[in-house]
Structure 1
Amino acid sequence: MTEWKEFSVAISSEASEPVSAIMSELGSAGVSVADRNDFLTLPEYGFDTLWELDESKFPKDGVIIKGYFNNHDDLETVEKELNARIARLEEYGITTGSYSIEVTDVVEEEWANAWKKHYHPVPVTRFMTIVPQWEEYTPQFIDERICYLDPGLAFGTGTHPTTQLCIQALETVIKKGDTVLDVGTGSGVLSIASALYGAGKIKAYDLDEVAVTSARSNIKLNNLEESIDVRANNLLQGVDEKADIIVANILADIILLFVEDAYEKLNDNGLFITSGIISEKKDQVVEELIKYNFEIVQVNQMKDWIVIIAKKENKDV
């Protein structure tokens, strides 16, 4: 029976996305986030929760991020590198606050059973429900789309506000046959949602090879291999594809790096959907989008998180 080490980081909410990314880059076999905002927010929107939520498991302040590493990994190096990278986040303007790291043992069988015990279908919108692969689920509406995911791969289960905001945005703008570029695809959930909403061609990119593997598995689970092409890539570098929609659910500081590139990759009147943006960073992202001739179409917020829908204005008009 394989044993694992669980690295648990208690840190500020603002650092949630970058620490999750660090865990993945260091080779974590899965990442989970306990965020009190999820406990407090989801019922307000009338959705069933994906998890059987126990309030005592959620931190009063900040978030708890857990990553899982095999005992065959160089755990001493993992812990040292994790500490070093988190310490450097302040240099990028990400407030970590006072944080702590704990390491505990986890038995694989117990871990797998824990995932299945607490993971249930969640309707993200009226037309989109995310369902774990082993759950039996009967659609409630004739036009309901079902997105199957394996949470054991844990690169985005659809519960985080940024993912929900992106899915809601995609639902309102996708037209049948649209070409979509999904930057920082993670679990592939936004690519899958795009296909289910009628997009014709979808290209998904992630810098992390483990995320690429995760996305491919989930895409196969939904029988969408012919619609979605996933590959490892750094943002939009070297991408020649022109798109009707580009969606990026990543950090605001990363979005700022490729706004110009996104503009060039969009067709006229194409849309750039960005999330993973904490509310304090909204104005900075909006200013950058306007700088490169984007028109801000819509800004939506769920608790502290923002999604921006921006349209490419034709410079020649």
Structure 2
Amino acid sequence: MKWSEIKIHTTNEAIEPVSNILHEAGASGVVIEDRNDLNKDWSTMYGTIYELDPDNYPEEGVYIKAYLPVNSFLGETVDEIKQAVSNLVTFDIDIGHNHVTISEINEEEWATAWKKYYKPVKISDRITITPTWEDYEPVSSDEIIIELDPGMAFGTGTHPTTVLSLQALERYIQTGDHVVDVGSGSGVLSIGAILLGASNVQAYDLDEVAVKSTTINVKLNQVQDRVTALQNDLLKGVDTQADVIVSNILAEIIVQTTEEAYQLIRPGGYFITSGIINAKKDLVRSDLEDKGFEVIEVNKMEEWISMIAKKPES
């Protein structure tokens, strides 16, 4: 089978929605080439260091690549992808150059070469994320290992928005907590919550690919008896009481959930939000406070913001 590589030149802000568009179009995974990666201090303690070629990266913004089978529907699929990405501007999302290129690639090369980019990464004091094909031995007795299969969808769980969310969960999860994960994606936050001590998690995503990815990844991590993955539109119709709600989605979507989140979170519970660009920080903070939350932390990693809000005790 022949495969076609679709490459979209866009912005950091658009990474999550563009990736989702590509997954919905049939891509089983995406590659993100961000020039900021050239300046990162890669630890040699976790995984193998590989040489990054600056010529593969844009001068500004990011390349998002996905792979689709070459068939009679490819042209129509690519046109739909282009239209969907262009439509993101209606949600006030900066899509940058939005330049799309198509090229064919050898199946054997595509099937294995991308794996070299995914190695175990320690993302917090206790949590390490590792792809399923890597052998990794914990370096401490209390280390938490999350295994993910990035080939399914939604990357390796090491995007700054995910890292910020996991670090917040590590600080605020209490043993026995009931957690709701809104926009579960790969399921990495649901898995992390359980391994940090939560008793159960309800994971919701509107995208059926995400629900499938969450289901598979929770089984990989042997927590399927404590995570329920369901297709749902944000928190609509949800009536469970939660100690923690975590939501790693766009700022514009977060503000659509705050009122329902406030009703569902028990007094003294937490609403962990991420996926917020700096320009939308005040929008989210104002909305959280208007709904009755107290914003107790604002954290930043690269261009991304995470906020932890607390529901008053009474």
Distance 1:115 1:108 in 2: 12
Identity %: 46
Distance 1:73 1:281, change over 3 A: farther
Distance 2:216 2:185 in 1: 11
* TM norm structure 1: 0.93
- The one-letter code sitting in structure 1 at the alignment partner of 2:161 is T
Superposed displacement of residue 53, structure 1: 5.3
The alignment partner of 1:129 has SS state of strand
Residue 67 of structure 1 corresponds to 66
Distance 1:84 1:141 in 2: 48
The alignment partner of 1:14 has SS state of coil
Distance 1:257 1:38, change over 3 A: farther
Distance 2:247 2:116 in 1: 31
The unaligned stretches of length 5 or more in structure 2 are: none
**CA offset digits 1:219-253 (Å, max 9, x no partner):** 11111110111111111111121111111111111
Aligned residues of 1:207 and 1:233 also touching (Cα < 8 A): yes
Distance 1:46 1:288 in 2: 41
Distance 1:51 1:204, change over 3 A: farther
**CA offset digits 1:118-149 (Å, max 9, x no partner):** 32111111211111111111110111011011
Distance 2:122 2:204 in 1: 26
Superposed displacement of residue 50, structure 1: 8.2
Superposed displacement of residue 270, structure 1: 1.1
Superposed displacement of residue 68, structure 1: 2.1
C-alpha RMSD over aligned residues? 1.9
Distance 1:36 1:159, change over 3 A: farther
Residue 52 of structure 2 corresponds to 54
Residue 209 of structure 1 corresponds to 208
- The one-letter code sitting in structure 1 at the alignment partner of 2:242 is A
Distance 1:303 1:116 in 2: 24
Distance 1:49 1:305, change over 3 A: farther
The alignment partner of 2:239 has SS state of coil
**CA offset digits 1:171-209 (Å, max 9, x no partner):** 000000101111111111111111110110101111111
Residue 139 of structure 1 corresponds to 138
Distance 2:257 2:197 in 1: 26
Distance 1:16 1:282 in 2: 18
Aligned residues of 2:23 and 2:153 also touching (Cα < 8 A): no
Q: Which runs of 4+ in 1 moved over 3 A?
A: 45-53
The alignment partner of 1:13 has SS state of coil
Residue 165 of structure 1 corresponds to 164
Matches within 5 A, 1:1-317: 2-41=1-40, 43=42, 48=46, 52=50, 54-56=52-54, 57-72=56-71, 74-313=73-312, 317=314
Superposed displacement of residue 106, structure 1: 2.9
* TM norm structure 2: 0.94
Give the paired residue count: 313
Distance 2:72 2:202 in 1: 32
Distance 1:168 1:51, change over 3 A: farther
Distance 1:264 1:140, change over 3 A: same
